[in-house]
Each structure stands twice: as C-alpha cells, then as structure tokens.
C-alpha cells in the first residue's frame, strides 16, 4: 500500500512559541504566536478563525469543552469561548506556574517544573479555590497532573486528578473538588518524566502508560491498579511510552523499539535518518515519531517505515487531532500533516 504523509499547511509563528502553547481538541486548534497573540485556526486549512491579545507566546494553551484557557508566562490565566473567541474572564497574579489541567469544572495550575503546590481555579468564573490542594509538598517536583474520569457506576466521583511526585515511588488519584484520595498505588521507582513534565500517555482501553524508573514500563487502570508491561534491558529516555492494543512503542536515541506484549517479542528499528528519536504519537495502525533533523517517521507494527517527511524546522511537540491529522510545533513554525492511508 502506498503510504503518504501529506503536509496540509505550515504557518510561521514569527517567534519560537512554547511547545505547550499549542492545543487541539474536537476540531479546535489554538496556538499562541507573534509575541502576544492567541489564535484559533482551521485544522484543515490553517485559516485564522479568531484572535485575542495575551501577554506573551511562551505560556500554556488548553481546550476544555467549549472553553479555551491560556496561562501566560506573565502569570495571567485567560478563558475564552472556543467558538467565538469571546473573553470570558482573566485571573492575574499566577506567576511561576506552567501546568494547566482541567478536570470537570476545576482548573489545576502546577508550578514551574512542578516545584510549587497545586492551586485550583473555578472554570466558570476564574476564582481561586480557598486553601491549598492536598497532595505532595512543594519540595517534590510533580509530573503534569492528568485528569481522569472515574466510573460513576462504582460510586466514585466522576472527576479526579492523577499525581506523580518525582521523589516518591507512588501514584495518587485525588478527587478534583475535595482532594479526597480515590486511589494510591506503590511503584518500584518514581515516575520518570522530562522537564516538560509530560509523563503519561493514554491507551485506547483506558489505561495510563508511564515509566517507573529508567527501565520499567507500567500501566495504571483506576479500576484494576498498576501492572508492569515491560522491563527493558537498557535505560530509556524520559519520554512517555505508547501503547496501541497489545503493541508497545518505545522511543530511544538510537531508534524505536516495538514490543508485542502477547508474545514478549520485540523488534528494534535502528536504520533511521540521522538524529535522536524524540516525540511520538499513536496513529491508525502504527505510530508517528519525530527525529532530530526535522524528520517525521511513520512506522507500522511490523517495524517497517511506512512514510517519512521533512518539516520546515525542528519539531518540539506532536499533537494528534482525530485519526487523520497530526500537528507539529517547532522552532517558529506550526505544520499540519494529513495521514492519508493506514499502515499495515
């Protein structure tokens, strides 16, 4: 089958925006650019749908339902209507925070690289919740908190937040509004995550996949607990693993390791364009990986390179949008790729 990675459009951002300044959800694509502008773009064409002034382009953008949040590096959290761009509210004096996670009607803001206690903001009006949110103390860096929706049929509150401290070999699942512990699991070693704080990836069956230490790949399902998926024989980079069905994908500096969990068999793809492997995202039938040197590589489960394309600049982050589009933000550019066929 002929495989293609088609570049639909590319947009010059004019500055090197933060990789976290890009958000995509339900067909909504929003990015901060040009010093102080937040824009919503048409994912298919790149055409601008609305724009709003913000303080800078080095903050964090999140789309949650019909709201778009932008936390500027200057410490102002803005909320816009994602469809019209109308400003709903703005809350200042939130400096030295970078993580933005939305769980139900609660917005969690984490410290710069996690070194500040979590605070909460009401999504409806931008008001701060009183008191400090329970959880690890500020002397431990936190991974980017992950919103988790629990099964209400089990008598649990629907909205919770998953927390992983860098200095504690444990996962904590806390009720988003009350902070009550809904789950706590011991790990062989603390969750490993990069400076960006992104430690987790989600599989199609609802499990959360992560690294525990440098060599263990683990998964959590709130209903069944944690399990070790794979023990690697060498240290892994601090990148979230990818789980698609029963196939595990591990990005490594020298290439990509693909593991069939049913057979405990693995294949190593090392004949790749020069440069280390970094970001990876699942796509239909396989996975897409960024390589140093501006290369995007699509692989199928057999370890075959299905397609390759070179982008205008270095790739800092990949963000899938449905089953056919992937957005890549890098050094001063945003590019959208259409995955037109499915790897086999």
pLDDT tens for 9-48 read: 999 998 889 999 999 988 899 999 999 999 999 999 999 9
Q: Quick one: tokens of 35? A: 């010093």
CA pseudo-torsion sign 324, 328, 333, 334: positive
Query: What are the pLDDT digits (tens) for 65-109?
Result: 999 999 999 999 999 999 999 999 999 999 989 999 999 999 999
Quick one: CA dihedral 306, 309, 314, 318, positive or negative? Answer: negative
The confidence band for 342, taking pLDDT boundaries of 50, 70 and 90, is: very low
Question: In this structure, are residues 44 and 4 in contact, taking their beta carbons and an 8 Å threshold?
Answer: no
- Predicted model pTM: 0.93
Q: Per-residue pLDDT tens for 241-292? A: 999 999 999 999 888 999 999 998 999 988 877 777 778 999 888 999 998 8
Give every CB contact of residue 274 below 8 A, 6+ residues apart in sequence.
291, 292, 293
């Amino acid at each position: 089958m002929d495989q293609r990675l088609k570049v639909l459009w590319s947009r010059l951002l004019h500055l090197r925006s933060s990789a976290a300044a890009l958000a995509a959800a339900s067909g909504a694509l929003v990015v901060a650019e040009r010093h102080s502008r937040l824009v919503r773009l048409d994912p298919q064409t790149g055409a601008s749908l609305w724009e709003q002034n913000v303080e800078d382009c080095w903050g964090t953008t999140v789309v949650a339902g019909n709201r778009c949040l932008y936390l500027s590096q200057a410490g102002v959290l803005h909320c816009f209507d994602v469809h019209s761009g109308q400003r709903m509210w703005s809350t200042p004096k939130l400096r030295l925070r970078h993580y933005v996670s939305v769980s139900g009607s609660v917005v969690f803001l984490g410290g710069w690289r996690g070194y500040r206690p979590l605070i909460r903001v009401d999504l409806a009006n931008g008001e701060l919740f009183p008191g400090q949110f329970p959880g690890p103390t500020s002397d431990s860096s936190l991974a980017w908190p992950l919103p988790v929706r629990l099964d209400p049929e089990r008598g649990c509150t629907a909205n919770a937040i998953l927390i992983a401290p860098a200095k504690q070999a444990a996962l904590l699942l806390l009720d988003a509004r009350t902070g009550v512990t809904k789950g706590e699991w011991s790990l062989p070693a603390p969750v490993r995550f990069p400076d960006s704080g992104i430690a987790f990836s989600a599989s199609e069956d609802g499990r959360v996949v992560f690294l525990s230490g440098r060599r263990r790949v683990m998964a959590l399902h709130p209903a069944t607990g944690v399990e070790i998926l794979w023990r690697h024989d060498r240290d892994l980079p601090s990148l979230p693993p990818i789980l698609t069905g029963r196939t595990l994908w591990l990005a490594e500096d020298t290439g990509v390791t693909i593991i069939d969990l049913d057979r405990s068999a693995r294949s190593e793809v090392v004949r790749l364009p020069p440069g280390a492997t970094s970001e990876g995202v699942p796509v239909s039938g396989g996975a897409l990986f960024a390589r140093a040197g501006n290369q995007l590589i699509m692989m199928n489960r057999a370890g075959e390179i299905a397609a390759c394309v070179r982008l205008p600049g270095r790739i800092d982050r990949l963000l899938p949008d449905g089953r056919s589009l992937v957005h890549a933000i890098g050094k001063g550019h945003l590019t959208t790729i259409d995955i037109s066929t499915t790897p086999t």
